[in-house]
Structure 1
Amino acid sequence: MNAIEKRRAAQVLDHILLIAGALLMCLPVYALFAATTHVPGTPIMLRLDPGGALLENYGSFLTSSGGFSGDITVVAMIWNSFALGMAFAALKTAVSLLAAYALIYFRVRGASVIFAVLLLTLMLPLESRFLPTYEVVANLGLVNTRTALVLPLVASGLGTLFFRQFLMTVPDTMLESAKLDGAGAWKFFMDILLPLSLPTAAALFLVLFVNGWNQYLWPVIVTSEESAYTVVRDMQFFGRASLPGLMLAILAVLPPSILVILFQRQVIKGLFDGSH
Structure 2
Amino acid sequence: MDKNTEHILSKLPDEMQRRIKKLPEYVKDNFEEIRIKAGFDTLIISGGNEISLRDASEVYPHTLDEILNRLLDYSYYAYEDELSKGYITIEGGHRVGICGRVTLKDGRVHIIKDISSLNIRRSRQIIGSSDKIMPAVLDKDIGRIYSTLIISPPKCGKTTLLRDIARNLSLNGFRVGICDERSEIAGCFEGRSSYDLGSRTDILDGCPKAEGMIMLIRAMSPDVVITDEIGKPEDADAVKSALYAGVKTITSIHGNSYEEVERSAIGELVREHIFETLIFMSAFPSTGTVEKILRLSDAAGE
User: TM-score, normalized by length of structure 2?
Assistant: 0.19
Higher relative contact order (CA 8 A, sep 6+): 1
> Which has the larger helix fraction?
1
User: TM-score, normalized by length of structure 1?
Assistant: 0.20
> Which has the larger strand fraction?
2
